Structure 1
Amino acid sequence: MLKDESTSKSENPFLIWYFDGETMFEDIVEASENFDDKYCIGVGGTAKVYKVEIPGAQVFAVKKLRSTVEGIETENIKSFTNEVAALTKIRHRNIVKLFGFCFQEEHSFLVYEFMERGSLADMLCSEEGAKELDWATRVQVVKGVAYALSYMHCDCVPPIIHRDISSKNILLSSDLEAYVSDFGIAKILKPNSSNWTTIAGTYGYLAPELTYTMAVTEKCDIYSFGVLVLEVLMGKHPGELITNLHYSTSTSIPLKDVLDDRLSPPTSQKIVDELALMQSLSLSCLSAAPQSRPTMRSVCRQLEMQAANN
């Protein structure tokens, strides 16, 4: 029922339940008072997320599948198994950790590490949160997501495509480090397969080619990453700007025109240079032609070279 036997009990107190799924189940149900809404911290299309604190252990985020009187819907089961399949294959500091899962008719849920600051989307929507996300922090958020995607695309065999990179699926820790979450529609690319699928993801982040082809590739994530980077720079979704880019022959946009005006302009030349590079990378990731978009490995390499040169 639980995974990650390699982690020591001192590092992960949740592991004490590895061999006793019934105890784990009972403790979570008890701590959440049978998943009372007062512990709910988020609602998605297929699940609710609860903040659950187990006595003597740490705080966890528990994602509970929605169910009906007929049981769990087929689509929800698919999302559940997708998430388990993806997260049991990967380990990266910028990808949220799955500690365990339970699949039962009454309650089916996944147990993750809890991210104290919630989603990047919520932080950017809040005046106070946006100001707390200063320019240096935003640079680190972008790098964290880039490293996670590069790992998934280039270091996992076979590669894993997230398919729903958006600000609501980037979670922030207490020190505002970025973690990629929600692998419910992730796809593991199978060799010698067409990897065709139905369109899925968050409107406003979907690669344009998905309107005429069902083939999922790394380039779909890269387009979504481009949208996300502009959103981090601007402090809001860059919908109108992207539309203008697709219909314009020029991709030259002054940096000052895309920076969140809730923050004071950056004064450090190092930060200015990093923000300018991120703007440039985001525009290349948003190319209408998938083959023209860079790989995530290339994106990370350029970010690292910029940091080294400063």
Structure 2
Amino acid sequence: MKFFLLILPLLQSIWSFHFSIVEAISDPPLSSISAPLSSPPIGATSPISSSMAAFSPAIQEGSEENQKDSHKKTFIALTVASAALGVTILILLSLWIHKKCSQKSHKSNAQSSDAEKALTLGPLLAKFNTMKVIGRKGSVSCIDYKVLETATNNFQESNILGEGGFGCVYKARLDDNSHVAVKKIDGRGQDAEREFENEVDLLTKIQHPNIISLLGYSSHEESKFLVYELMQNGSLETELHGPSHGSSLTWHIRMKIALDAARGLEYLHEHCNPPVIHRDLKSSNILLDSNFNAKLSDFGLAVIDGPQNKNNLKLSGTLGYLAPEYLLDGKLTDKSDVYAFGVVLLELLLGRKPVEKLAPAQCQSIVTWAMPQLTDRSKLPGIVDPVVRDTMDLKHLYQVAAVAVLCVQPEPSYRPLITDVLHSLIPLVPVELGGMLKVTQQAPPINTTAPSAGG
């Protein structure tokens, strides 16, 4: 019906044009037949006058022929107009059908995209659906505690993967020998309960390749449990500052991790409705799978962006990652996450912890220590993590340092949006790792007179 309402004005204009043609052909102007021929001046002969004089005896006969021609032209005009009208209707109809098909195709593509995101977790989700599920919250299952107890071998100490503020994370083996991670929250206070509820509420609504997937949750006596996909390489903090000291993290892998983290943050800031502020972004909350794909985790402190949700907000987070305006004045925005991301980028770049002890009662932040040297191109190569020093194109090093400097600016308005950070990192990551850099040959390091790390 909408289609015919749209083409009705066009049909009216076509028919009006058609009838004007018909009238013009069937009723020629009278003046062209009945007007008397003007006599030429005496003594002057005009070629045009001579021609008209030659044809004057046949005027009446010609008028009859003109009338026949007029009917013939009318018929032709009607035929042409009808054909044009038919073609126009067909074109409009095909455009309308094409639009409808495009809409259906777009919808199906969106659905298939969502399906692809969940494809890798399909077997695990199906496995949980066959277990003792005692409830559901969105797409996440509430699992019987006994299932988790068995899967972790009664939460045996040898299965501990890591430890957080409220408890430990355990490796759990399911009946089909697949593995997941179980976070046990032992806190009895309101904070632990609030963070548990907050994380379940958020992660049941969020699906993104660079955000950890919550598979299930459980509760038993005073303890709460969260079940995640297992990330085989643990946290970025362990990889950088643990026993291996970042030896597995090449320059390109580090840039890939930064890019993945930026993509996860951009999803929270730009694509969630309403936007989400993570509020506790740090290297220990960036988890790595077997291929070093990075995913943001631990959403217990996350906040839905909005004035009503940030009033009287308790100061929470980790020292070294807290933005100055949030630490000093309690002002929390998406730029607070950008500051924390800048600290993580410095960790990847320099291989140092966000806060280091200089003396028993004295600490120094990585931002304070690095800032004067990050903006000095002669000093910058000398403070880079020795594991990756001299393995990158210096132009890329300068660009990453510039991004980090902008992210950790004291004034929030000077910091970029995470989208801008993301677009700055994409050209520095090889195509096969999710970026746009085409790596052909390792660029030789440029000769510099930079001092050594200890100089």
2:348 to 228, 232, 240: 232
**Counterparts of 2:123 and 2:296, CA distance in 1:** 25
Quote the offset at 1:12 in angstroms: 3.0
Superposition RMSD in Å: 2.7
2:173 to 50, 53, 65: 53
**Counterparts of 1:134 and 1:164, CA distance in 2:** 26
Task: Quote the residue 1:159 is aligned against.
Answer: 275
Secondary structure of 1:147's counterpart equals helix
Alignment of 1:218 with 2:334, yes or no, is yes
Secondary structure of 1:83's counterpart equals helix
Alignment of 1:285 with 2:410, yes or no, is no
- Residues 185-204 of structure 1 mapped to structure 2, 5 A cutoff: 185-190=301-306, 194-204=310-320
Alignment of 1:274 with 2:396, yes or no, is yes
**Counterparts of 1:150 and 1:23, CA distance in 2:** 31
Secondary structure of 1:212's counterpart equals helix
Q: TM-score scaled to structure 1, two decimals?
A: 0.86
Alignment of 1:34 with 2:162, yes or no, is no
Contact 1:162–1:183 at 8 Å: present in 2 too? yes
Quote the offset at 1:75 in angstroms: 1.3
The superposition leaves residues 144-188 of structure 1 with CA deviations (integer Å, 9 ceiling, x where unpaired) of 101100110111111111111111111111111111111111111
Quote the offset at 1:283 in angstroms: 0.4
Secondary structure of 2:403's counterpart equals helix
Task: Quote the residue 2:386 is aligned against.
Answer: 261
Task: Quote the residue 2:424 is aligned against.
Answer: 302
Quote the offset at 1:259 in angstroms: 1.4
Quote the offset at 1:302 in angstroms: 2.1
The count of aligned residue pairs is 298
Secondary structure of 1:298's counterpart equals helix
Quote the offset at 1:228 in angstroms: 0.5
**Counterparts of 1:19 and 1:284, CA distance in 2:** 50
Quote the offset at 1:232 in angstroms: 0.4
Alignment of 1:111 with 2:227, yes or no, is yes
**Counterparts of 2:338 and 2:163, CA distance in 1:** 26
Task: Quote the residue 2:263 is aligned against.
Answer: 147
1:66 to 186, 201, 213: 186
The superposition leaves residues 276-306 of structure 1 with CA deviations (integer Å, 9 ceiling, x where unpaired) of 3221111000110001100001111222355
Task: Quote the residue 1:44 is aligned against.
Answer: 164
Quote the offset at 1:64 in angstroms: 1.0
Secondary structure of 1:182's counterpart equals coil
- What fraction of aligned residue pairs are identical, expressed as a percent? 33
Secondary structure of 2:329's counterpart equals coil
Q: TM-score scaled to structure 2, two decimals?
A: 0.60
Task: Quote the residue 1:77 is aligned against.
Answer: 193
**Counterparts of 1:116 and 1:221, CA distance in 2:** 26
Quote the offset at 1:108 in angstroms: 1.8
Contact 1:13–1:58 at 8 Å: present in 2 too? no
**Counterparts of 1:107 and 1:237, CA distance in 2:** 31
Secondary structure of 1:183's counterpart equals coil
AA aligned opposite 2:423: R
Unaligned runs of 5+ in 1: 1-5
Secondary structure of 1:14's counterpart equals helix
Quote the offset at 1:53 in angstroms: 0.5
Segment of structure 1 superposing worse, 80-89 or 19-28:
19-28
Secondary structure of 1:56's counterpart equals coil
Secondary structure of 1:132's counterpart equals coil
Change (3 A) 1:153 1:31: same
Higher normalized contact order (CA 8 Å, seq sep 6+, divided by chain length): 1
AA aligned opposite 1:288: P
Task: Quote the residue 1:97 is aligned against.
Answer: 213
Change (3 A) 1:212 1:170: same
Change (3 A) 1:193 1:134: closer
**Counterparts of 1:42 and 1:167, CA distance in 2:** 13
**Counterparts of 2:279 and 2:427, CA distance in 1:** 28
Contact 1:35–1:50 at 8 Å: present in 2 too? yes
AA aligned opposite 2:301: I
**Counterparts of 2:437 and 2:161, CA distance in 1:** 42
**Counterparts of 2:370 and 2:216, CA distance in 1:** 43
**Counterparts of 1:139 and 1:113, CA distance in 2:** 23
The superposition leaves residues 40-83 of structure 1 with CA deviations (integer Å, 9 ceiling, x where unpaired) of 2222111221110111152111011105xxxx321110110111
Contact 1:230–1:258 at 8 Å: present in 2 too? no
Contact 2:381–2:389 at 8 Å: present in 1 too? no
Quote the offset at 1:212 in angstroms: 2.7
Change (3 A) 1:128 1:104: closer
Secondary structure of 1:12's counterpart equals helix
Quote the offset at 1:238 in angstroms: 5.0
Task: Quote the residue 2:126 is aligned against.
Answer: 13
Q: Larger Cα Rg: Structure 1 or Structure 2?
A: 2
Task: Quote the residue 2:451 is aligned against.
Answer: none
